Chains A and B, each alone.
Chain A
Amino acid sequence: MIDFTLSELQQAARDYAHQVALEEMRPISLECDRTEKIPDSFMWNMQRRFWAGAAGQARTQAQEGEEKQDNILSILSQEEMAWGDAALSTAIPGPGLAAPPILSQGTPEQQAKFLGPYMDGQLHWGALALTEPGIGSDVAGMSTTAVLEGDEWVLNGYKHYITNGARSDLVVTFATIDKSLGREGIRPFVVPRGTPGFVVGRIEEKMGLRASQTAELIFENCRIPKDHLLSGRESSKKAGFKAAMGTLDATRPMVGALAVGIARAAHEKTCQWVQEELPKGFSVYKRREIELELDEMGQELEMARFLVWRAAWMADRRIPNSKEASMCKAYAGGLVMKVTSAGVRISAPGENSESRQFLQKWFRDAKVFDIFEGTAQIQRLVIARRLFPEVDIP
């Protein structure tokens, strides 16, 4: 039965994340953006909060005997986190983007070996390395290579734009074992920090998400044990590529949720600015025009959220959701730019208040949501290809 209301468990997950966003993120958001640094205290607080949060959630879920809803619970809290601060939300300790490929492609032994250490209550991060200087969305053209020499894989190549790349204990790195196989030669490898031949290059300076760490990773004859190839389902030739793409079907709704969170923050702040800070002397007509624009964006915000919810709901039910995942990412990515740029424009006549600084920060943060995890154009390509499976759309 079609239902847009949250269960108690879902509402609790959302409320919990909102509280964290409000208490831990908003107060340090502007400062972290300015300095591009995150205080250790934040990391520890998040470690502690999410440890407790995740454990509590698992208990409730077990008690209620509800069906699997990892994706829904995740996107509900992602939206709240991004409402707090999207950059800070990327720095929350944990395996992060390394987890999905390990969970979907790793053997039970590999899952225990690589994810186990994250449970010790200390600060650990994980990263996913896909993008290279020469390839973005077209992962099939990957040039990082992996060659098996005896009991070791030898990796060579560059990866860049890697979130948490410099602070991660392990990086799931995609590399090709045979360039002539194209995308089917791509495999995921787990590279631990400190492996000889694996070095961190420069840390990028960015227009937005400035507190989030974005690193360049260099692999020069980097040797890792043979069993660091995530090979749980190697029977399929497409395993590696599918791991990369399957990850996107789960993470695109999350990116969509983050975009919705920023858009909501900006929408709220702009509405509040109009209420409290609109300079005297604005004509009623001008004010009404702004209110109508904000009303409409409020509707679009709800539609974006529903698209995200639907894609995550499908993922939980294991219904193929590439098209829907791309739809929510494309819609939310476009909307967050629209809402944040409207916020900057509408608040332009005001004093340089904290509200305006937030709006300007979110405007800078927003742009990348139209780009990473597949640009707006790639999303439309994915949607079109799903709509026309029989047509070759290059």
Chain B
Amino acid sequence: MLNFAPTQEQEEIRQLAQSLAMEQVRPQGRSAEQQGDISPALMKTLTQTGLTTPFPEEYGGSGVVEAVTYTLIAEELGFGDGALAMNIIGSLMGPLTVLLAGDKSQQQHYITPFSDASRGHLQRGSLGFAERTGGYYVTEISATIRTEGEQYILNGSKRDVIHGGQSSPRVVLVRLEGTSGTEGLCALMVPLDIAGARVSHDEGKLGLIAAPSAAYTFENTPVSATCMLGQPGGSGVLRAAALYNILRAGVACGTARAALDYAMDYARGRIAFGRPIVSYQGIAFMVAEMAMKLDAARLLTWRAATSWDRGTGCETLVQEGEAAQYQAIKIAKSATIDAIQILGGAGFIQDHPAEMWMRNAAAME
């Protein structure tokens, strides 16, 4: 039955995430960009709240991930700072993919360290999804594996893998040779210090600088069969891919909302010709447009998240996640660009975060 209100519990979690985003994440956005990573202190604070450990309690987590709840969290983190939000979620997708696709012993081994009270906040995972030949679409995954004795032979590329250079688990999405579409998808953990694997750390990025990333090239890279998470072609892999897109959409909605909110404050306070600039329809209509499109994209994102929680069929789920991230990133880009326009000259200056947010939004694709 149609309903557009989060539960009481979700609302409380969202508020917690929002206050952390405003008090801790937002103020560190610019310095994190200069450092090129999240500060261990901030990560520790977040880990202590349980927001970054949505794992089963048997692995020390704060409770198993729900897409709607975590989408609300992702939006708030993105509202704080898009790059830091992607830093956190990029890492989280490593253990979450193990949770969704892996077997019991893999889960135990790879997830538990993230919940460790003293060292968990230093742990980084990664999920390689997009490639040099495409975007965040399952059908565009063309990295392949084929079986050769006790191991797989891996070929293909991955790009913009957040924490990709220094993570454990380091998961990449690949497909069994000869498959296409949503068939034959696998989540494979790859060591990088092996023959045929080339890693390059991304440098001089446009945006998401506070989320360090790397690209991989695999040429006939041999990977042990034990690195496969669960069974090849399992539905957990597709659910992980869909979840990543839903959460990326959440972060994008948060980035758009940050830009909208910032532009609204500016438009309210900035006086031109004796009136706040928002009293001119040229500005007011831009703001209305941003708000309307953001709400539209958020609803699309929420729908995908509810489908994920309901266990909707993978084909539909994957499609809904892809639509959500496409539309949410689209509004994140246009809202951040419009925010700069509303700020005028100030928008171009790095005293204001709008330009950083615009670069972050553009780097999400």
For residue B287, CB closer than 8 A to chain A, the reply is: yes
**Given the complex, which residues of A lie within 8 Å of B272, measured CB to CB?**
none
Per CB-CB distance, the 9 closest pairs between chain A and chain B, nearest first, are A384-B284, A306-B299, A303-B296, A383-B288, A7-B1, A380-B288, A3-B3, A327-B292, A380-B285
**Given the complex, which residues of B lie within 8 Å of A307, measured CB to CB?**
292, 295-296, 299
Of all chain A residues, the one with the shortest Cβ separation from B331 is A303
Contact A310 B4 (CB under 8 A): yes
Residue among B264, B278, B288, B323 with most chain A CB within 10 A: B288
Contact A387 B303 (CB under 8 A): no
Q: Which of A1, A3, A384 contacts B278 (CB 8 A)?
A: A384
A255 → chain B closest CB, angstroms: 15
Contact B279 A393 (CB under 8 A): yes
B2 → chain A closest CB, angstroms: 6
For residue B306, CB closer than 8 A to chain A, the reply is: yes
Q: Which residues of B contact A (CB under 8 A)?
A: 1-7, 68, 264, 267-268, 276, 278-279, 281, 284-285, 287-289, 291-293, 295-297, 299-300, 302-303, 305-307, 310, 323, 326-327
**Given the complex, which residues of B lie within 8 Å of A391, measured CB to CB?**
268, 276, 278-279
**Given the complex, which residues of A lie within 8 Å of B295, measured CB to CB?**
307, 310, 324, 327
B322 → chain A closest CB, angstroms: 9
Contact A2 B278 (CB under 8 A): no
For residue A275, CB closer than 8 A to chain B, the reply is: no
Over the window 243-277 of chain A, the binary record of Cβ atoms lying under 8 Å from chain B Cβ atoms (1 yes, 0 no) is 00000000000000000000000000000000000
Of all chain A residues, the one with the shortest Cβ separation from B324 is A299
Contact B291 A327 (CB under 8 A): yes
In Å, the complex CA distance between A90 and B288 comes to: 30
Contact B323 A4 (CB under 8 A): no
- Counting chain A residues whose Cβ lies within 8 A of the other chain, the interface size class is 35 or more
Q: Which of B4, B281, B300, B326 contacts A2 (CB 8 A)?
A: B4
Question: Known contacts being A380-B284, A383-B291, is A10 close to B5, with CB within 8 Å?
Answer: no
For residue A22, CB closer than 8 A to chain B, the reply is: no
In Å, the complex CA distance between A383 and B291 comes to: 8
Contact A3 B296 (CB under 8 A): no
Q: Given A313-B4, A380-B289, 5 other A-B contacts at CB below 8 A?
A: A2-B4, A6-B2, A303-B299, A380-B285, A384-B278
**Given the complex, which residues of B lie within 8 Å of A313, measured CB to CB?**
2-4
Contact B281 A6 (CB under 8 A): no
For residue A392, CB closer than 8 A to chain B, the reply is: yes
Over the window 1-43 of chain A, the binary record of Cβ atoms lying under 8 Å from chain B Cβ atoms (1 yes, 0 no) is 1111111001000000000000000000000000000000000
Interface of B is mostly: helix
**Given the complex, which residues of B lie within 8 Å of A330, measured CB to CB?**
288, 292
Contact A2 B284 (CB under 8 A): no
Q: Which residues of A contact B (CB under 8 A)?
A: 1-7, 10, 66, 72, 296, 299-300, 302-304, 306-307, 309-310, 313-314, 323-324, 327, 330-331, 377, 379-381, 383-384, 387-388, 390-394
Cross-chain pairs A/B with CB under 8 angstroms, 20 sampled: A3-B1, A4-B2, A4-B307, A5-B310, A7-B1, A72-B2, A303-B296, A306-B303, A331-B296, A380-B281, A383-B292, A384-B278, A387-B287, A387-B291, A388-B267, A388-B268, A391-B268, A391-B276, A391-B278, A391-B279
Q: Which of B7, B287, B326 contacts A1 (CB 8 A)?
A: B7
**Given the complex, which residues of B lie within 8 Å of A72, measured CB to CB?**
2
In Å, the complex CA distance between A314 and B2 comes to: 11
In Å, the complex CA distance between A330 and B288 comes to: 10
Contact B279 A392 (CB under 8 A): yes
**Given the complex, which residues of B lie within 8 Å of A331, measured CB to CB?**
292-293, 296
Q: Which of B1, B264, B279, B323 contacts A394 (CB 8 A)?
A: B279
**Given the complex, which residues of B lie within 8 Å of A303, measured CB to CB?**
296-297, 299-300, 327
Contact B323 A299 (CB under 8 A): yes
Contact B300 A388 (CB under 8 A): no
A27 → chain B closest CB, angstroms: 31
Question: Known contacts being A303-B296, A306-B296, A383-B292, is A4 close to B327, with CB within 8 Å?
Answer: no
Contact A310 B288 (CB under 8 A): no
Contact B287 A384 (CB under 8 A): yes
Of all chain B residues, the one with the shortest Cβ separation from A382 is B288
In Å, the complex CA distance between A2 and B305 comes to: 9
In Å, the complex CA distance between A327 and B307 comes to: 24
Contact B326 A299 (CB under 8 A): yes
B81 → chain A closest CB, angstroms: 23
In Å, the complex CA distance between A265 and B278 comes to: 38
Q: Which of A3, A7, A300 contacts B306 (CB 8 A)?
A: A3
Contact A310 B6 (CB under 8 A): no
**Given the complex, which residues of A lie within 8 Å of B4, measured CB to CB?**
2, 309-310, 313-314
Contact A2 B327 (CB under 8 A): no
Of all chain B residues, the one with the shortest Cβ separation from A324 is B295
Contact A1 B6 (CB under 8 A): yes
In Å, the complex CA distance between A323 and B287 comes to: 13
Residue among A6, A307, A330, A384 with most chain B CB within 10 A: A384
**Given the complex, which residues of A lie within 8 Å of B326, measured CB to CB?**
296, 299
Of all chain B residues, the one with the shortest Cβ separation from A72 is B2
In Å, the complex CA distance between A327 and B296 comes to: 9
**Given the complex, which residues of B lie within 8 Å of A7, measured CB to CB?**
1-2
Contact A384 B302 (CB under 8 A): no
In Å, the complex CA distance between A6 and B306 comes to: 13
Of all chain B residues, the one with the shortest Cβ separation from A304 is B296
Contact A381 B323 (CB under 8 A): no
Contact B299 A387 (CB under 8 A): no
